[in-house]
Amino acid sequence: MKQVTISNPFITLIVLDYGAIIQKLLVKDDEGRYTNVVVGYDFPSKYPYDTASLGACVGRYAGRIANGGFTLDFKNYLLPTIDGIHLHGGRQGFGKKYWTIEEVHHGDEPFVRLSYFSKHLEEGYPGNLKASVTYKIKNNELYIIHEAKTDLSTVVNLTNHSYFKLDGENSIDHYFLKLNCPKIVETHKNLLPTGKLIPVKGTEKDFSSERQIGKTRFDTPFATNDESSFAAMVYSKKSGISMEVNTNQRGLVVYTPKDFPAICFETQNFPDAPNQPNFPSSVLRPNETYRNASVFKFDLVT
C-alpha cells in the first residue's frame, strides 16, 4: 500500500493508492498548529477491514440502487445486493481496489492523480470504465475531480466519502451548518427514493440559514441549488475552522455516522438515478466524459 503526501503552506494531504483514500487532511491555524479534519486510521493496513468507506473514492455508483439492478438500452443488468439494495458499487466497490498513481506534482498547486480500470461487468456494470480522481490543493482549497470514460454505455456516479471532523470534541452538536439545498430527495424507510423532490423549508433538515446542528442527524440526499455551485458550509467555533463545499453535482448526501462524531458531504448524483426517469441522468456514453468537480475550501473564523 502506497502513500502520497502533497502540501502547501496551509494544507497537507495524505492519500493512499488503496481506494484512492484520503487518509489525512491537515489544516493549519493562525498559530501554526495542524488539525486533521478527516476521520481515518493511522495505519494504512487497517483500511481493507474498514466498513465505513473512510475517505474512499466510492463507485462505480455511489449510493443506493433499487430492484437489484437497472435497465439500460433495453438490457437488464443485475447487481449484487443486500436485502434487495445495491450500495456503493457492490461487494467490492472502487473504495476496496488498488488504484494506479498516475502523476504527482509538488510545488505550486500540488496534485496527485490516480486511476482505476473497472472491467466490463465488474460488479454487474456494463462497459470497461477508466476512472480517475485528482486531488489538488490551491491556497486554502482542496479540489477533488473525478472523471471517467467508457467503451460501452453504462451508469456512473463517483464521490469521495470523507468524514469531516473539525475539532477534537466528541460531538458535532456545536457545529454550525448551512446548506444551499432547497429540496430533499424523498425516500422510503429503506432510504430508496420515491422519485419525488420535496421542499426542505420548514423541515428538521432545513439549514438554509446557518444554525447549530444540535441533535439533528443526517442520512439525507439533498438536491443542490442549480443556480449556484455553493452547496454547504460548516464550522466549529472551538477550532476556528470552517469548510465550504462547492460542486457541479446536482446531489449532496449529508451523512452523520452513529458511532463517531463526524459529518460527510458526498457530492454526487441522486441515489437510484438509473431507475428514476425524472432524476438527472447517470448514463455515460462512449463518446462522453463523466466529471464530478468539487472544491472544499477551508478558512479560519473567530
Q: Using 50, 70 and 90 to split pLDDT, how confident is the model at 159? A: very high
Three-state secondary-structure class, residue 122: helix
From 123, 141, 244, 266, active-site residue: 266
Amino acid of residue 125: Y
pLDDT per position as a tens digit, 187-205: 998 999 999 999 999 999 9
β-bridge partners, 113: 103, 134
Residue 149: what pLDDT?
A: 99
Residue 263 to residue 256: CA distance in whole angstroms: 5
Q: Using 50, 70 and 90 to split pLDDT, how confident is the model at 87? A: very high
Residue 125 labelled as part of a binding site: no
Taking residues 178-192, report their average pLDDT: 96
Q: Using 50, 70 and 90 to split pLDDT, how confident is the model at 58? A: very high
Three-state secondary-structure class, residue 110: coil
With 0.95 as the threshold, say if the pTM is over it: yes
The answer to whether residue 266 is catalytic is: yes
Residue 269's nearest CA partner among 255, 287, 248 is: 248
Q: Write b or e for each residue in 228-249: b if 16 or more Cβ atoms lie within 10 A of its Cβ, otherwise e.
A: ebbbbbbbbeebbbbbbbbbeb
Residue 161: what pLDDT?
A: 98
Domain ranges within the chain, ordered by starting residue: 3-300
State the fold for domain 3-300: Beta-galactosidase; Chain A, domain 5 (2.70.98)
Residue 95 to residue 97: CA distance in whole angstroms: 6
From 88, 122, 161, 244, active-site residue: 161
For 26, the grid coordinates are: 491537515
Taking residues 92-106, report their average pLDDT: 98
- Does residue 302 carry a pLDDT above 80? no
Residue 49 labelled as part of a binding site: no
pLDDT per position as a tens digit, 211-268: 999 999 999 999 999 889 999 999 999 999 999 999 999 999 999 999 999 999 999 9
Taking residues 270-283, report their average pLDDT: 98
Mean of the per-residue pLDDT values of the chain:
97
Amino acid of residue 150: T
SS3 content of the chain, % helix, strand, coil (to 5): 5, 50, 45
pLDDT per position as a tens digit, 15-25: 999 999 999 99
Residue 159 to residue 57: CA distance in whole angstroms: 6
Q: Answer positive or negative: Cα dihedral of 96, 283, 219, 298.
A: positive
Residue 163 labelled as part of a binding site: yes
pLDDT per position as a tens digit, 142-157: 999 999 999 999 999 9
The answer to whether residue 88 is catalytic is: no
Residue 41 labelled as part of a binding site: no
